[in-house]
Structure 1
């Protein structure tokens, strides 16, 4: 197993109390017992795993020894370290656990999570929307409750939402999903054959990378903010994916002219172009929101997870009607429909979505400014360019790499997302992604812990890192 992959699966292994080697052994033992590391799996050499986890080799050696004594692993000179038991064939493995999956589960420890960005509580408008939705449910008759394409009321609300933004849309052009991640998975299944080419930005949203890899796609990359028109036309991928507004993770916004040219190029090349709009409405005060991409082959993807609350599992796909019909048939095989009460509540919120986001814009900008000020004060060597919206900063470390520093930061009680997990090309290793949605006091404490971790990591050294590359859009 690749050391970086095992490090991802280990998650926040060092966040507990006690010696590091015992914490590491406990987490490895759990992965073995739960079958995530099946019998026969070859584990990384001591030095390789120690490097991936940013710990001393002795920590890994001691952890492996604990597992050997427990009978979980076998270590032989010359043949390496393997999980005990006979190797057995399993299903085709196209992906490991997403790099962020272990950060989504609630924890009781004191780790400050700056890796996964989402509102920490539902707005007051959401319970009120549910009250209205429940009153509507009380009047339902002649409806068995299965809506594979989504409830008609919500499909119409989303269609009106796009029409108001300058892209005329009918309800039949909309498919409702259980969040944006399900929308990505459906699109990957519908368009991508094993080995087929998918064009993505580098870096990009890690959930998209995982969805495409799950289909065994061949990922081709283009730099964020560069037009990419020639790449779309030249490679003619099975699917192209981008985040055009408040890009995740860099925060950039693709200008209107570039949007029109990109949509036209995709249409000419007959390439389905997925525009992830999950963050589109999170502009700071006074910042314009460009119109959505529109074109014959453009597929818009949206969700309320970032603009309202992650617990409201409502997403959607807007596309040409034949694509929507195809996706609805595919979804019906796996999922006969979403929660009707949630969809009715979302239909109540959609007409007010822009207003809800404007109401929180000043607070989001204040937290963005506070985090940047704290980073500049305590970690002046770090480069954290400002953004005009969204939820995250794309931070460049002056030396070292994000993977090993993220492990060091985790041991100091703060979780950040290493850049390598957001870059299908294997680059961005000198970056980490940090969100600014926490309250100012929490952000101050988080930066204090990051600064302490940086000193432990070797923050005073100059290791000759390459010159910064532009992330401007």
Structure 2
């Protein structure tokens, strides 16, 4: 592509706040994600694009490097810079990971097992029972247009009560109900970030959070799981936000000790850095485990995010944010621009489910399926490194050779979709990992391992792969 052609497609890319390279990367990211820059498209050299845009070469180099670290472009000596997806020879290569799994979720190919989207495939009977209980309430509604930008009062009350029962005094005016946890993340990113703001994230972490932050043109800085080194990073980077999954972390399944939670919360408060505590997996502990104390116990710098998508069923689309009332008000105003409120029947049903969440037989089922997948992997793929976990829904698997991206392509050809580790780690340190989930039925997990085994036997690690440079790691 000629530099002048790309500059025309970019349009008014520099209108906004933040460093020029971040704004340029954000605009190119949008063109790539929207398909305006298709897979395999050859991008202009650094100097040529810089001249066409009338900026310094370092601006283009930094923008390209940011996009390369996200997996959206590929830079190879001798073949130039291309949008990821198709190599110069026409062969399929690493494509940008879609953390929302839109292609896989939409296609619903019955011949492909989805080991990428960790979520319950069967709503528990309590969902139907909750809907049956609210039918009389729906029949009695009168004079209510059904718009609740903050969420239905009954559900806000139920969520606040649950927090209070966990030792976190909460009032309904601190709760904003959202259409799932992903919308909650997007609202928080939009409210708290400006282009160029730095965000401290765990490496690896939930990829949907990374995309929500990138959508606001934030610069992601990776720390070890648990945000180890948080205090020093805050002093050096002055981040606009930090994000952590303290309980059954996605993807590693780790759990932060109470003392570490308190230290992080107090350090964030002292530095004035909003700290998002993603509690979506927190209710997924195995039998005999105790639900850890929420980080919000230790201060108002912590913004809690929750959802029923993993503990009950994703089809409910029920999530929430717990934050100080002024921030809740601001988030509701932002949400109302796009969405005047969620589904009222679903919220009324969720109010019942929240109150009975601890009575679900979820822990026993999760433990059984975890153990089944572990046993299958140990028998058929003994060379893989598969740590056990005490809760959650995913296994963080290290391959003995090769890399997750190229193996995922081989696995797809054998009828199973797995998530490569590179899309979950902004430091580039998880290339040898894949994420698997154990939410499927035992027979499906057995079939998944059979296909993984066939894929591994057919897999040939690339010999010319250039290790990624952790350009935005700290």
TM over 0.5: yes
Tell me the residue number matched to 1:184. Answer: 185
Alignment match of 1:319 (pick from 301, 318, 323): 323
Q: Which residue of 2 aligns with 1:275?
A: 277
Shift of residue 138, structure 1, vs aligned partner = 1.4
- Per the TM alignment, residue 350 of structure 1 is displaced from its structure 2 partner at its CA by 0.7
Indicate how the Cα distance of structure 1 residues 40 and 385 shifts in structure 2: closer, same or farther if over 3 A, else same. closer
What is the aligned partner in structure 2 of residue 346 from structure 1? 350
| The one of 321, 335, 347 aligned to 2:339 | 335
Bigger mean CA deviation after superposition, 126-135 or 201-210: 126-135
Residue 211 of structure 1 corresponds to 212
- Counterpart of 2:134 in structure 1 is 133
User: In the alignment, which of 428, 431, 437 is matched to residue 430 of structure 2?
Assistant: 428
Question: After the TM superposition, which residues 284-303 of structure 1 pair with which residues of structure 2 at under 5 Å, given as runs?
Answer: 284-294=286-296, 295-303=299-307
CA distance in 2, matches of 1:99, 1:129: 28
Whether the 8 Å CA contact 1:203–1:424 is kept in 2: the answer is yes
Distance 1:255 1:96, change over 3 A: closer
Distance 1:146 1:105, change over 3 A: same
CA distance, structure 1, for counterparts of residue 450 and residue 122 of structure 2:
25
Residue equivalent to 2:194: 193
1:447 to 436, 449, 455: 449
Is 2:116 aligned against 1:109?
no
Supply the distance in 2 between the matched residues of 1:97 and 1:111 (Cα, whole angstroms): 17
Q: Which residue of 1 aligns with 2:54?
A: none
Deviation, 1:266, is 0.6
User: Tell me, which stretches of 5 or more residues in structure 1 are unaligned?
Assistant: 2-31, 62-94, 466-473
In structure 1, what is the Cα distance between the partners aligned to 2:87 and 2:342? Answer: 44
d(CA) in 1 for partners of 2:403, 2:80: 15
**Gap change, CA 1:54 and 1:137, over 3 Å in 2:** same
Task: Note the C-alpha offset of 1:343.
Answer: 0.5
Aligned CA-pair RMSD: 3.0
The 8 Å contact of residues 226 and 244 in structure 2, kept in 1 or not, is answered as no
User: Residues 48-447 of structure 1: matches in 2 within 5 Å?
Assistant: 97-98=98-99, 100-225=101-226, 227-231=228-232, 233-234=234-235, 235-294=237-296, 295-356=299-360, 359-447=361-449
Per the alignment, do residues 195 and 283 of structure 1 end up closer, same or farther by CA in structure 2, a change over 3 Å counting?
A: same
Matched-pair contact (CA < 8 Å) for 2:376–2:449: yes
Alpha-carbon shift at residue 445 of structure 1 (Å): 1.5
Q: Distance in 2 between matches of 1:374 and 1:213?
A: 37
- Does the CA-based 8 Å contact 1:391-1:435 persist in structure 2? yes
Q: Aligned partners of 2:380, 2:109: CA distance in 1, in Å?
A: 28
Give the CA deviation at 1:154. 0.4
What is the alpha-carbon distance in structure 1 between the residues aligned to residue 232 and residue 222 of structure 2?
9
**Cα distance change on mapping 1:373 and 1:433 into 2, 3 Å:** same
Using structure 2 for the length normalisation, give the TM-score.
0.78
Preserved CA contact (<8 Å) 2:394 2:436: yes
Q: Secondary structure at the match of 1:115?
A: coil
User: Which deviations, in whole Å up to 9, do the C-alpha atoms of 1:35-90 show, x marking residues without a partner?
Assistant: 7245898257998999x8799957569xxxxxxxxxxxxxxxxxxxxxxxxxxxxx
The secondary structure found in structure 2 opposite 1:221 is: strand
Aligned to 1:22: none
TM-score, with structure 1 as normaliser:
0.78
Q: Is the 8 A contact 2:39 2:86 kept in 1?
A: no
Return closer, same or farther for 1:57/1:447 CA change in 2, 3 Å cut-off: farther
- For the 8 Å contact 2:40–2:88, the answer to whether it is kept is no
Q: Distance in 2 between matches of 1:134 and 1:228?
A: 51
1:128-182 Cα distance to aligned partner (Å, 9 max, x none): 1112222212112232211101111100000000000000000001000000000
Give distance in 2, aligned partners of 1:198 and 1:266.
Answer: 13
Native 8 Å contact 1:406 1:416 kept in 2: yes
Separation (CA, whole Å) in 2 of partners of 1:49 and 1:448: 38
Contact 1:200 1:220 in 2 (8 A): yes
Distance 1:413 1:372 in 2: 20
**2: CA distance between counterparts of 1:182 and 1:238?**
19
Confirm or deny: 8 A CA contact 1:232 1:265 kept in the other structure: no
1:77 paired residue number: none
Report the Cα distance in structure 2 between the residues aligned to 1:336 and 1:444, rounded to whole angstroms. 44
Inter-partner Cα distance in structure 1 for 2:328 and 2:128: 30
In 2, Cα distance between equivalents of 1:447 and 1:53:
27
